[in-house]
């Protein structure tokens, strides 16, 4: 399979990571498909998709165990992202949750550790946990997920808050709300977005406009939906990749260059926001 060179995105530290990664939401939940999920992630590594996103919540830790099996013997190639649940995000709770994730991942460090969403614990507590984990070498960077502009501004007012490496949020053709507020804010502060659910859990893929564009490119609707997000070179994207066929399909989306006509047609069907909206979640 002929593929283009894999583009990268720079984190605030200056380190580059693959723009296209592999998501693991809803993986590690069924023994029946475990081998397929591991094979898919391994193929992704072969294709350069070494950014792997997971979380303690996914499959109650099962997804992290899938990741561990997938990267065995290849850990140094990978950039692993995991997340702490908000109910665990006190200083001590964050440290303990990270320890459990490290054990499931069978690794000595998590490259990027995120607060999954806002919860009861104060941000100061979570940041203190992140800083302790960095000091011990258990994590390399920290970031957040599902934070809106107000959340990011609150974070940046705290000591050390500007060390945030990314904000992972919902973004796809149908969920463009961040374009009117959060995305410009993050770009102004050099915080790269990590976009999840580029296919809207498959609901986007039956759209007629998307299908028409896909036919023009001799591609699938999933590839067009993914190419639309990937056209923003400063944004990481982490589609779920639970089968080898889907991994190959996602990787080939990098070879698709959408035309002005494509983008105009898609914008007519999926118009950009005219004003700021609250952050959307799945």
pLDDT in tens, 224-252: 999 999 999 999 999 998 899 999 999 99
pLDDT tens digit sequence for 89-137: 999 999 999 999 999 999 999 999 999 999 999 999 999 999 999 999 9
Percent of the chain with pLDDT over 90: 93
Question: What's the mean pLDDT in 82-90?
Answer: 98
Rounded Cα–Cα distance for residues 240 and 243 (Å): 9
Q: Vertex 268, ends 264 and 271: CA angle to 5°?
A: 110
Which tokens hold the place of 100? 């459990």
Query: Where are the chain's structural domains?
Result: 15-204+233-242
Q: Which residues contact 259 (CB under 8 A, 6 or more apart)?
A: none
pLDDT tens digit sequence for 144-192: 999 999 999 999 999 999 999 999 999 999 999 999 999 999 999 999 9
Res. 199: pLDDT tops 80: yes
Please tell me the predicted confidence (pLDDT) of residue 201.
85
Contact 6, 18 (CB under 8 A): yes
Please tell me the predicted confidence (pLDDT) of residue 4.
54
Out of 58, 113, 171, 196, which one is annotated catalytic? 58
Q: What value does the CA radius of gyration of the chain take, rounded to a whole number of Å?
A: 18
Task: Say how many Å lie between the first and final Cα of the chain, rounded.
Answer: 33
CATH fold for domain 15-204+233-242: TIM Barrel (3.20.20)
Of the candidate ranges 1-10, 37-46, 74-83, the one whose mean pLDDT is the lowest: 1-10
Question: What's the mean pLDDT in 20-44?
Answer: 96
Task: Give the single-character DSSP code of 232.
Answer: S
Q: Which residues contact 221 (CB under 8 A, 6 or more apart)?
A: 204, 205, 206, 207, 210, 211, 214
Phi, psi (rounded to 5 degrees) for 82: -135, 175
Of the candidates 67, 58, 56, the one whose C-alpha atom is nearest the C-alpha of residue 34 is 67
The helix (run of H) or strand (run of E) holding residue 79 is strand 79-84
Please tell me the predicted confidence (pLDDT) of residue 1.
44
Task: Give the single-character DSSP code of 19.
Answer: S
Pairing assessment for the beta strands 139-145 and 236-237 based on DSSP bridges: unpaired
More confident position, 85 or 205? 85
Contact 54, 100 (CB under 8 A): no
Q: For this structure, is 58 an active site residue? A: yes
Contact 60, 32 (CB under 8 A): no
Percent of the chain with pLDDT over 70: 98
Rounded Cα–Cα distance for residues 254 and 4 (Å): 7
Q: Which residue in this structure is represented by tokens 């957040």?
A: 144
Res. 204: pLDDT tops 70: yes
Return the SS3 of 245.
helix
């Amino acid at each position: 399979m002929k593929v283009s060179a894999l583009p990268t995105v720079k984190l605030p530290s200056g380190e580059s990571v693959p723009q296209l990664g592999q998501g693991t939401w809803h993986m590690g939940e069924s023994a029946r498909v475990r081998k397929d999920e591991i094979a898919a992630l391994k193929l992704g590594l072969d294709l350069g998709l070494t950014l792997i996103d997971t979380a303690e919540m996914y499959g109650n830790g099962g997804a992290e165990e899938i990741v561990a099996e997938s990267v065995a013997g290849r850990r140094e190639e990978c950039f692993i992202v995991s997340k702490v649940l908000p109910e665990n995000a006190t200083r001590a709770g964050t440290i303990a949750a990270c320890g459990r994730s490290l054990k499931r991942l069978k690794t000595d460090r998590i490259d990027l550790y995120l607060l999954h969403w806002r919860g009861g614990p104060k941000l100061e507590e979570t940041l203190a946990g992140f800083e302790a984990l960095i000091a011990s070498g258990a994590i390399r960077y920290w970031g957040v997920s599902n934070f809106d502009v107000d959340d990011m501004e609150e974070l940046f007012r705290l000591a050390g808050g500007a060390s945030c490496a990314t904000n992972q949020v919902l973004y796809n053709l149908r969920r463009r709300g961040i374009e009117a507020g959060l995305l410009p804010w993050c770009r102004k502060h050099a915080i790269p977005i990590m976009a999840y659910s580029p296919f809207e859990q498959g609901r986007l893929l039956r759209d007629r406009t998307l299908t028409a564009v896909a036919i023009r490119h001799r591609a699938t609707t999933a590839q067009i939906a993914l190419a639309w997000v990937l056209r923003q070179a400063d944004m990481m994207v982490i589609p779920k990749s639970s089968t080898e066929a889907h991994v190959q399909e996602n990787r080939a989306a990098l070879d698709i260059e959408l035309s002005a006509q494509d983008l105009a047609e898609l914008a007519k069907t999926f118009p950009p926001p005219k004003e700021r909206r609250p952050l959307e979640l799945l």
